[in-house]
Amino acid sequence: MAKKDRPKAASVLKKDDQIVIGGAGGFIAGALTRYFHDQGFTRIRAIDKKPLPQWYQRVPGVECLCMDLSHEDDCKRACEGAVEVYNLAADMGGMGFIERFRIECLRSILINTHMIEAAYRAGATRYFFSSSACAYNVELQKNPDCPALKESDAYPAMAERGYGWEKLMSEMFCQEYWAERHFETHIARFHNVYGPWGTWDGGREKAPAAICRKVMEAKDTGARDITIWGDGHQTRSFMYIDDCTQGIDMIMHCDALIATPINLGSNFLVSINGLVAMAEEIGGIKLKRKYDLNAPKGVGGRNSDNTFIKQVLGWEPDTPLKDGLRKTYAWIEQQYMARKAGQRPVS
């Protein structure tokens, strides 16, 4: 599809259509809220269970509500008058979190179950669900050089325990709402997303943010070494946040992608050792590497096969990792320094 023909919110919605975004106190939904706000949408309702002062971003002019979307009544209130609903709320984090807190991850099924029903009852036009590459069969991801994952690789199912199964089941809800009730749903399987205004400390952070922080900690304290989870040979791809928000918009407004899960991720594969080297280069330091082989390290290798997204949208996430990581490092450094100076950072 040519760039000019790709429908987006700006060409499909009226500026005062009600947009509802769940999980907006967090990283991706916070960025999505800003994305729509910057395009001139005037009725955005942003929701998160975190108290408002703890939101990563609070966008001026946006209705920000602290509500628990695992509760049916809160979902009903959240979806009142909605034209589009974006569900990005989930109890989640990096490997350290999802391997340890499987029950919390599974309980996110309540969020999607109530949100999609509330959106349907409210008469919304479209519903978006943020799935994950963790929905893919783990048997296909054992080695660092495994083939990139294509959409059909989710079945036969052997998803990541807890988090991945919740995503797979919620995808199925979205597909059945379309099949049985003709409620238009869209599903993106995100592969690792990174960027400014994301979690960078506290146990839920993901590899790019954790590695940037560890590099600056080593610089700051003079420790000169870095602890890496696993042997560092695990491979991943990482998508910059601006690609993610654009991709969500295109996927949500593409008629060929109704109830059809699609990869939204970069296909630039890098090992964790390679990621550390990039962060060291940005930080201007070389560190001694220690490997914690008992730490959670996830699958051996995971990449996004972008054949389908290129075919259907004529586009794929393309921000070079070095550029995105540089911006992320700079933002985390500001946060790190702010915390050191006694201010309250985002984390």
Q: Please choose, from the candidates 244, 247, 264, 265, the residue with its C-alpha nearest in 3D space to the C-alpha of residue 198.
A: 244
- 10 Å CB burial of residue 191 (0-12, 13-18, 19+) is buried
Q: Note whether 199 binds ligand NAD by CB under 6 A.
A: yes
Q: Please choose, from the candidates 241, 218, 232, the residue with its C-alpha nearest in 3D space to the C-alpha of residue 274.
A: 232
Distance CA 18, CA 13 (A): 9
Q: Note whether 130 binds ligand NAD by CB under 6 A.
A: yes
Identify the residue among 19, 20, 25, 177 touching ligand NAD (CB under 6 A).
Answer: 25
**Strand 126-132 with 84-87, pairing:** parallel
Q: Note whether 68 binds ligand NAD by CB under 6 A.
A: yes
Task: Restricting to residues 205-244, name those near ligand NAD by CB under 6 A.
Answer: 206
Minimum CB distance to ligand NAD smaller for 141 or for 192: 192
Q: Note whether 340 binds ligand NAD by CB under 6 A.
A: no
Residue number with the smallest Cβ distance to ligand NAD: 26
> Nearest distance from residue 217's CB to ligand NAD, in Å?
21
Identify the residue among 9, 13, 19, 27 touching ligand NAD (CB under 6 A).
Answer: 27
Identify the residue among 9, 21, 26, 34 touching ligand NAD (CB under 6 A).
Answer: 26
Mark the segment that binds ligand NAD (CB under 6 A) among 36-44, 90-98, 309-317, 336-344: 90-98
Minimum CB distance to ligand NAD smaller for 229 or for 287: 229
Q: Please choose, from the candidates 300, 243, 252, 264, the residue with its C-alpha nearest in 3D space to the C-alpha of residue 191.
A: 264
What are the CA-CA distances from residue 59 to residues 22, 250, 271 (Å)? 14, 22, 35
Residue with tokens 């002062």: 53
The backbone torsions φ and ψ at residue 187, rounded to the nearest 5 degrees and listed phi first, read -135, 120
> Would you tell me which residues interact with ligand NAD (CB under 6 A)?
22-23, 25-29, 47-50, 68-70, 88-92, 111, 130, 132, 190, 192-193, 199, 206
